[in-house]
Structure 1
Amino acid sequence: MRLVTFEVATPLGPVERLGARRDGRVADLNLAAALLYEAQGKTRPRERADFFVPSCMLGLLDRGDEALAEAKRALDALEGEPAGPRGERILWNESEIRPRAPLPRPRSLRDFFAFEDHAKAGAARRKEEMLPAWYEQPVYYKGNPREMYGPGDEIPWPDYTRKLDFEFEVAAVVGRRGRDIPVASADRHIAGYIVMNDCSARDIQKNEMLSRMGPAKGKDFATAIGPWLLTADEWDGRIPDLKVRVNGEQWSRSHGAQPYWSFAVMLSHASQSETLLPGDLLGSGAYHKGCGLDLDRWIKPGDEIELDAGPLGVLKNKVGAPKGATHLKYNRDGSYAP
């Protein structure tokens, strides 16, 4: 399934719903399940649907594999122009809804550094050799899961950066709780995969990394994901050919490059002596030349970025403009340094 979160207008204001892409339209999965249960003669179909196929992505992930299977059965059972048990609308045209980040509120965000050529390019820019430690474990930083953006959203340009960048990544969404998960069974803990843009303020990130900390303010202002979550049963195990387009011009292509560290290894490593939960997000890191830093080519306000991942969809966002011009250099008392 291609799972989405979408927003519809109601007399009480906009409401988020869980859906799935189907024949160019979006189906409300919670209401589709209620319709299926009613057709099967189940008692209290709406309440049953709220339990087995909740109306939000985190709720569905918390219910586990059984909920995903119920959602798929409900989606496959739809015919014609169905209505819910109380006449509710189930199918929507894309022009009638606002797409949101498929996982609007991840429980956590870990972003890895899994592509070897990207790591080598960074070492070369710093005039360093690749550290042996990179080959010993899949390193990551913890990002900010509260600043999430979806398809069509404008990516904010923080006032304090002069070098905003994109990073084209694929992320795995955890679908099953686990701790100290063996690599051999780690794939079973992944609910699906999604396109991710790890937005980066490169000048700020550089200063943070020089102090051997972070990244923090260089990353925490925005992460974009979408357009849908492709469920793991439809994933062939390989990251597809990735293409970056800016204002319609192709800037970069991955040519099928695969990460040195697999998602199974990344997830297993993250789970050592800590518990992973459904809705945790694990980014792969960018492939070599999947970001402006590797290309030495920089986006500007008003640009439209398209991250094309084939079966994972195309994530499109426009770059916003800074509202002012500040910086993040301070005197000890907290006043801005000159």
Structure 2
Amino acid sequence: MRLARVEAPGGRFSGVVVGGPGEEVVHALPGGTTVLDLAAAGLDAAREAAAAARRSSPAVPLSAVRLLPPLEPPSVRDFVAFEEHVEGVVRSVGGGSGGTVPDAWYEAPTFYFANPHSLIGAHDDVAVPPGCTVLDFELEVAAIVGAAGTNLSPAQARQHVFGYTVFNDWSARDLQGREMRVGLGPAKGKDFATTLGPWVVTADELEDFRDSDGHLALELTAEVDGRRVGHDLLSNAGWTFEEMVAYASRGTWVRPGDVLGSGTCGNGGCLAELWGRAGAQEPPPLAPGNRVRLHVEGIGAVENLVVAGEPLGAVPVVPTARRRSRARHRPD
């Protein structure tokens, strides 16, 4: 099943998408049901709701609606699961490591928490964030959690993955590079936009793509203005999604609708990796007018136009840090 959230002339609704490329239609789910509701209810309930939608609601051409992020997740974790990506990016963003993958990367599937309020739809414009001059895309796949769980094993975690979607972790590399020197990881460098879409494909639809190691061997392709700049297999990730979900659940809970990004794939899954390998910003950073298309086999494609954003001078100024005396008592 393909489950989407759309904005139509009559309002917003969630629905099931049917039909081939260029002929897709969406049927509204009954009773205002959302994709998040179905993730919590499970695959069998989702099948019943989708069947009811096709029977009882009219077919709306997908071309007549705006695709929204397919769900409003309670949290977004983004992993960094591709060794090849780390090799390239640390040269251009990490600084000082000469492209060496840190030993700690191999020990556990590291992630950071992203902003669930910055999600945008499959074809929405992406505004350059204030102060950014080095804009980049990142080609990822995301898993959507279904049933809640804690301290899961990877085998158990497979039953907690409801579906998958395409994930573009847009990055302001110049802002990110400054922030990461402080040692806390990306903040405003990642805080402005994340594309999620075009829909959620339920996990059962992709089982035939599993390789002998249990990885989903999906082809991933990135294009900028129609030129292919990246191509990889999802199975080149160092961990399966089940292993990432299990790690995320350690000592805490994963909840229905939680989004877990795979991290950026290798071989041109982002421009920064290519810059790190070439020693120069070629292809150049993204700029207004560039169109980025990311395609994931078995799921679909997202395509976003980069547009000008608010210039730094047009937003409120936050001063630099003031040196303090470190006094321990108020002056008399």
Q: TM-score normalised to the size of structure 1?
A: 0.83
Q: C-alpha offsets along residues 42-68 of structure 1, whole Å, 9 cap, x if unaligned?
A: xxxxxxxx3xxx521112222223322
The answer as to 2:6 corresponding to 1:17 is no
State the alpha-carbon separation in 2 of the partners of residues 172 and 225 from structure 1. Answer: 11
Tell me the matched-pair count: 299
Question: Within 5 Å, which residues of 2 pair with 1:74-85?
Answer: 74=52, 78=54, 84=56
* Alignment match, 1:42: none
* Alignment match, 2:320: 331
- Unpaired segments ≥5 residues, structure 1: 32-49
Question: Within 5 Å, which residues of 2 pair with 1:250-289?
Answer: 250-254=228-232, 258-288=236-266, 289=268
The answer as to 2:304 corresponding to 1:317 is yes
* Alignment match, 1:112: 79
Distance 1:164 1:214, change over 3 A: same
CA contact (8 A) 1:198 1:222 kept: yes
State the alpha-carbon separation in 2 of the partners of residues 273 and 317 from structure 1. Answer: 37
State the alpha-carbon separation in 2 of the partners of residues 134 and 324 from structure 1. Answer: 36
Question: Within 5 Å, which residues of 2 pair with 1:178-257?
Answer: 178-235=149-206, 236-237=209-210, 238-254=216-232
CA contact (8 A) 2:139 2:264 kept: yes
State the alpha-carbon separation in 1 of the partners of residues 263 and 233 from structure 2. Answer: 16
* Alignment match, 1:66: 44
State the alpha-carbon separation in 2 of the partners of residues 257 and 250 from structure 1. Answer: 20
Q: State which of 126, 129, 134 in structure 2 corresponds to 1:158.
A: 129
Q: CA RMSD in A?
A: 2.1
State the alpha-carbon separation in 2 of the partners of residues 65 and 131 from structure 1. Answer: 39
Q: State which of 258, 269, 290 in structure 2 corresponds to 1:290.
A: 269
Instruction: Report sequence identity in percent.
Output: 35
Q: State which of 110, 118, 134 in structure 2 corresponds to 1:147.
A: 118
Question: Within 5 Å, which residues of 2 pair with 1:31-42?
Answer: 31=30
Distance 1:198 1:239, change over 3 A: farther
CA contact (8 A) 1:195 1:315 kept: yes
SS in structure 2 of the partner of residue 254 of structure 1: strand
CA contact (8 A) 1:25 1:91 kept: no
CA contact (8 A) 1:3 1:21 kept: no
- Unpaired segments ≥5 residues, structure 2: 211-215, 276-282, 324-332
Displacement, 1:22? 3.1
Displacement, 1:330? 3.1
Distance 1:245 1:111, change over 3 A: same
State the alpha-carbon separation in 2 of the partners of residues 257 and 251 from structure 1. Answer: 19
State the alpha-carbon separation in 2 of the partners of residues 255 and 141 from structure 1. Answer: 23
State the alpha-carbon separation in 1 of the partners of residues 110 and 311 from structure 2. Answer: 35
The answer as to 2:63 corresponding to 1:95 is yes
Q: C-alpha offsets along residues 93-121 of structure 1, whole Å, 9 cap, x if unaligned?
A: 12222211112x11100000000111122
